[in-house]
Amino acid sequence: MNLMSYSMLIAFILPVAILFAAWVLSSRSYNDREKSSPFECGFDPKSTARIPFSMRFFLLAIIFIVFDIEIVLLMPIPTSLIVNNMNTMLLTSMLFLLILLLGLLHEWKEGSLDWSM
């Protein structure tokens, strides 16, 4: 047998072995009411759907998305400082961080970050 035959044999046996292992291991799991019920944003799926939506949950989700996008925008700054004009990139980075800090201070002053209530 040559190398091509071995690779084709492995390409056939490996997925079959993985599927068999998944089938064997999944048949041993226990199904209870909590694991089989859907979980949507903290709502009980067995109760009425006409309950009021938590504004705190909505604000937390929006704050998470905003700060997550800000982290993505901050990640390439160190490498761009090396490649591009350092003074311009440093000024732009500082302006961006200042806007972030002002937004954080506004949310803190507004009480969006206070979860004790």
**Count of domains forming the chain:** 1
pLDDT over threshold 70, residue 77: yes
Domain assignment present for residue 46? The answer is no
DSSP 3-state of 43 = strand
State the Cα–Cα distance between residues 65 and 62, nearest whole angstrom: 5
Residue 8 backbone class (left: φ over 0; alpha: ψ -120 to 50; beta: rest): alpha
Does residue 86 sit within a domain? yes
Domain containing 83 equals 54-117
CB atoms under 10 Å from CB of 96, counted, come to 14
Mean pLDDT calculated for residue range 21-25: 85
- Please check the confidence at residue 38 and state whether its pLDDT lies above 70: no
Share the mean pLDDT of the chain: 78
Summarised one tens digit per residue, pLDDT across range 53-75 is 677 777 778 888 888 888 888 88
Higher pLDDT, 104 or 37: 104
Which residues neighbour 90 within 8 Å (Cβ) at sequence distance 6 or greater? 81
